[in-house]
Structure 1
Amino acid sequence: MPHTHITYWPRVLLLWGCGILAAMQFAKVSLAFALLQQQFGVSATQMGWALSVVGVVGLSLGVSMGLLAPRIGYRRLLCGGMLLGAVLAAVQALSLPFHWFVGTRVLEGASHLAVVVAAPTLMSGTTAARHRSIAMGLWSTFVGTAFALTAAGGHQFLAYAGVPSMFALHAVLLLIAAVLAWVALPLDQPPPASAAHGAGLLARHVRTYTDWRTALPGLCFFCYTGMAVALLTFLPRGLTDTDRWAATVLPLMGIAGTFGAGWLTQRSSPLRLLRMLYPSLGLAGVLCAWSAMTGWGYVEAAIALMLISGLAGGSAFALIPHLNHDSAQQARANGAVAQMGNLGATLGPPLFAWSTAMHSAWGLAIPVLLLASTGAVLTQWGSIMQRSAAGKPQSP
């Protein structure tokens, strides 16, 4: 997909909206978790699997989707994913048995993955180079924005209209977005000769993780998602009754960080920025633990931790166009980001839960330090590779 010298902001906002609606495939079940558990008569563990199975699909097929995207066509892939999501949300509005509901969630994983691979690649292609980091920063807020929007009006909507109406509304919004995207986005270009064929899929999968330019954004994003959901779950536990207002501010600070990363990486290399952010992230985790023990400054430390983690997540997204200028490479990098992001979101919460149970206040700082240290090592490696590759052309 060729790049442009003009930024089409309406398309950028439309693609961002598609991402938000895809993220609501997680947010809607999270919001209605207790109601759905009661409706189906299942345990919290079973309902938890129904929530997380969407991410498991991305974990297992993320890179494969990124490899196949150029051959399918990004516009077709995006609109097909949105239409599939709309159909599944409409089916979920019916009175389904639990096992059928879980089946629709598995298919929603494919819908979600199609959108998160195609939309950022299309966004990069419809954005001028001078605005690309800003657009990627905006894109990286799609999950947090979906959860914030769902939390803002979702409880009132559920109380007034019920769970089936929430699923039906999601289906309608997905359908409208799919039609708008089909009309507004340019036609897909013929697939390049290097587009993935089935026989070479495994080899190209390996190539994604052996090429530092396509692997590094996903690996850095893992260090972010390994803590993002867990921090939103465990940070509020340290709040006192008088500080409960901060539970609403924390996700907003994460969104502010991810969007702010787009502006910062417009002026500085995202790799250079990440090399500063990961040590700051570890320090913020230590400050949170110290504040929890002393009872002083916990809200400020928690807000700083969420802001810095959001900056790290947005900067990891900005690495994709910074390191990969070919759309096929960007799709591979987006696939790795989807896969590694789902891996982090799957492993992070149980790691934090175990650590906080074992070590009380310091239990939150230990995983943060572990992930921040991993990110620091990765970015140091990336800097070395970038210096060694200076002046060498990228291979398509």
Structure 2
Amino acid sequence: MSDTVKTDTLTVLTIWVAGLCAAAQFAKISVSYQHLGEIYPDAGASLGLAVSLISFLGVLLGAVAGVLVAGMGYRKVLVIGLTIGALMSLVQSTLPAFPVFLTSRLLEGISHLAIVVAAPTLIANVSAPRHHPAVMTLWSCFFGVAYALFGWGGVPLVEAYGPGRLYLLHGLACIAMAAILMLVLPKGTVARSALPKLGEMLRRHIAIYRSPFTSSAALGWLFYTPTFVALLTLLPSLAGEGRGGFLVIWMPLVSIAASLTVGVFMLQRLQAHLVLMIGFAGAAVAVALVWITGSAVGPFFGLAVFWGLIQGAGFAMVPQLNDGAGQQSLANGALAQMGNLGNLCGTPIFALILAGGGAEAVYYGLISIFAIAIVLQVVLAKLRAR
């Protein structure tokens, strides 16, 4: 747990905005996906990599990144991550040849990983322990807020000026946040750890997933992230163009509202892993109702509510189950790794399922994922109780 007595609200909010820049690395592609298909007509099925390739390095390095970030310094890593993100967005704004575009997305994964490992650890450590449920729930909303903002402002911008203008604005936002954080975050905000040797890093990587404390949030995230990004990307195909565009904007907003209200209320009264399981159970029921009603709007909003519970509970589990910045950094690294694995696989897999089996096959897959997630969390809770 953090030793901080008072929560530094300004710093928390500033770091959270940096998180929006990381989430926007997915949102900017999702809202411009159809236009990219027109710009790169020969891409075919590989166009899905434009969404998911950013996750590749996170899959390879996520848990190790927690060790590296703790050794390099959280402030430095966060600023470097935003700077790399800015450079890659500026490259993408030129709409280069498709292989170059995909390469920039691969390298953008370094930026995304740096931000999502360093930022939540910093937030937890500049906040009083009593505020951890609230601030970590706020952090958990960064993807939903980014998707809502890009659905509201990004879609019309892309319609009017094309994807390049949106990517340019994202790059400028990353540069601005890097500069602001250098001013707001003092050096040594969180103590650095010694950088371990390669063999020690590999041993720690194994130890992270052998521990039901450092791995639980990550293994929950593995079953959440493929559903969130994939569903928001494929909504026009699942719910129809008109309803799909409406839901892309409003589902993240409903998710945020649920996370900040019902989610915080529940996290103050229940252990985070219980809230996580309630979220998965409710999400499964909501998807079943979407299926039964023929993709009606109401059940989609129900799914968004339970997404909100999962988001807040997943991040709240990290400081609740892990003491100190070092352990939290390892848990956040694992969470980033599993989240990136889900993001990497989610859109391509569900796009294939949709093409091969239609919407019903997608809904069956979603329900199965949520059910497996619940069983896994029950097992992990029993292991922690030993």
1:360 is displaced (CA, Å) by: 5.3
Matches within 5 A, 1:1-396: 3-40=3-40, 42-94=42-94, 96-188=96-188, 189-193=190-194, 195-233=195-233, 237=237, 239=239, 245-246=246-247, 248-260=249-261, 261-292=263-294, 298-353=296-351, 355=353, 362-388=360-386
1:121 is displaced (CA, Å) by: 0.5
Deviations along 1:327-372, one digit per CA (max 9) or x if unpaired, are: 1111111111111112222333444445556665643442233222
Residue segments in structure 2 that go unaligned for 5+ positions in a row: none
Deviates more, 1:250-259 or 1:105-114: 250-259
Cα contact 1:217–1:337 (8 A) shared by 2:
yes
Q: 1:362 to 1:258 in 2, by over 3 A?
A: same
State how far apart, in whole Å, the 2-side matches of 1:310 and 1:234 are.
19
State how far apart, in whole Å, the 2-side matches of 1:306 and 1:45 are.
28
Q: 1:57 to 1:258 in 2, by over 3 A?
A: farther
Cα contact 2:148–2:248 (8 A) shared by 1:
no
RMSD: 2.6
1:15 is displaced (CA, Å) by: 0.9
State how far apart, in whole Å, the 2-side matches of 1:252 and 1:157 are.
19
Q: Number of residues paired by the alignment?
A: 383
Residue segments in structure 1 that go unaligned for 5+ positions in a row: 389-396
State how far apart, in whole Å, the 2-side matches of 1:122 and 1:86 are.
21
Deviates more, 1:78-87 or 1:117-126: 78-87
State how far apart, in whole Å, the 1-side matches of 2:325 and 2:226 are.
27
Cα contact 1:59–1:343 (8 A) shared by 2:
yes
Cα contact 1:277–1:312 (8 A) shared by 2:
yes
One-letter identity of the residue aligned with 2:26: F
Q: 1:254 to 1:47 in 2, by over 3 A?
A: same
Secondary structure at the aligned position of 1:214 is classed as coil
State how far apart, in whole Å, the 2-side matches of 1:235 and 1:96 are.
27
Deviations along 1:135-157, one digit per CA (max 9) or x if unpaired, are: 11111111121121112112333
Deviates more, 1:158-167 or 1:334-343: 158-167
One-letter identity of the residue aligned with 1:91: V
State how far apart, in whole Å, the 2-side matches of 1:84 and 1:199 are.
28
Deviations along 1:97-116, one digit per CA (max 9) or x if unpaired, are: 33333222221110111001
State how far apart, in whole Å, the 1-side matches of 2:67 and 2:331 are.
9
State how far apart, in whole Å, the 1-side matches of 2:117 and 2:152 are.
27
Deviations along 1:60-84, one digit per CA (max 9) or x if unpaired, are: 2111111211101000000011111
Q: 1:29 to 1:303 in 2, by over 3 A?
A: closer
One-letter identity of the residue aligned with 2:31: L
Larger Cα-atom Rg? 1
State how far apart, in whole Å, the 2-side matches of 1:327 and 1:64 are.
15
Q: 1:211 to 1:302 in 2, by over 3 A?
A: same
Deviates more, 1:358-367 or 1:303-312: 358-367
1:40 is displaced (CA, Å) by: 4.7
Deviates more, 1:179-188 or 1:149-158: 149-158
Q: 1:3 to 1:76 in 2, by over 3 A?
A: farther
Q: 1:84 to 1:272 in 2, by over 3 A?
A: same
Q: 1:17 to 1:198 in 2, by over 3 A?
A: same
Cα contact 1:138–1:262 (8 A) shared by 2:
no
Deviations along 1:273-313, one digit per CA (max 9) or x if unpaired, are: 22333333322232222222xx8xx3322221221123123
One-letter identity of the residue aligned with 2:312: G
Q: 1:98 to 1:186 in 2, by over 3 A?
A: same
Q: 1:386 to 1:360 in 2, by over 3 A?
A: same
One-letter identity of the residue aligned with 2:297: V
Cα contact 2:279–2:310 (8 A) shared by 1:
yes
Cα contact 1:253–1:307 (8 A) shared by 2:
yes
1:204 is displaced (CA, Å) by: 0.9
State how far apart, in whole Å, the 2-side matches of 1:262 and 1:24 are.
24
1:14 is displaced (CA, Å) by: 0.8
Cα contact 2:93–2:168 (8 A) shared by 1:
yes
Q: Where does structure 1 differ by over 6 angstroms across 4 or more consecutive aligned residues?
A: none
TM-score normalized by structure 1?
0.87
Deviates more, 1:28-37 or 1:146-155: 28-37
